[in-house]
């Protein structure tokens, strides 16, 4: 079967982690998003099994997106991963790779607007 070239033209997402900001005394005063990379994405429709997966993890699925799988993503710490799309922050419920390591699926729960 001949492969086709897939387009990811729904937008760009930034992935990374939140960094805790502290005062001079060491008291926590807030968090800021530290981007580790940027990927073009395609919005996907979620299946019933995707919603069930999120429910079993104590989360709600708000958005499912598909991106190319960058080789640098192998070195990214996936626990506590955050995604920002159009200044809206999402928690990554699960980051799933396809069988051939070509594509990456992000299951996202909305947190809120980034300030």
pLDDT in tens, the chain (115 residues): 656 778 888 999 999 888 888 888 878 887 788 888 899 999 999 889 888 888 888 888 999 999 999 888 888 777 789 999 998 999 999 888 888 888 999 999 998 887 6
Does the domain at 11-110 match CATH 3.10.129.10? Answer given as no
What pLDDT is attached to residue 30? 79
**10 CB neighbour count, 10 Å cutoff:** 14
Burial code of 13-52, b = ≥16 C-beta within 10 A, e = fewer? Answer: bbbbebeeeeeeeeeeeeeebeeeeebebeeeeeeeebee
Domain boundaries, the chain: 11-110
Q: What is the separation of C-alpha 76 from the centre of its chain, rounded to a whole number of angstroms?
A: 12
């Amino acid at each position: 079967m001949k492969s086709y070239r897939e387009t990811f033209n729904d937008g760009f997402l930034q992935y990374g982690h939140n960094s805790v900001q502290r005062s001079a005394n060491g008291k926590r005063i807030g968090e800021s998003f530290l981007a580790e990379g940027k990927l073009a994405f395609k919005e996907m429709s979620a299946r019933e099994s995707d919603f069930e997966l999120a429910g079993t993890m104590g989360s709600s699925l708000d958005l499912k997106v598909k991106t190319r799988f960058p080789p640098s993503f192998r070195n990214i710490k996936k626990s506590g991963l955050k995604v920002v799309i159009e200044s809206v922050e999402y928690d990554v419920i699960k980051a799933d790779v396809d069988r051939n390591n070509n594509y990456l699926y992000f299951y996202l729960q909305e947190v809120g607007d980034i300030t």
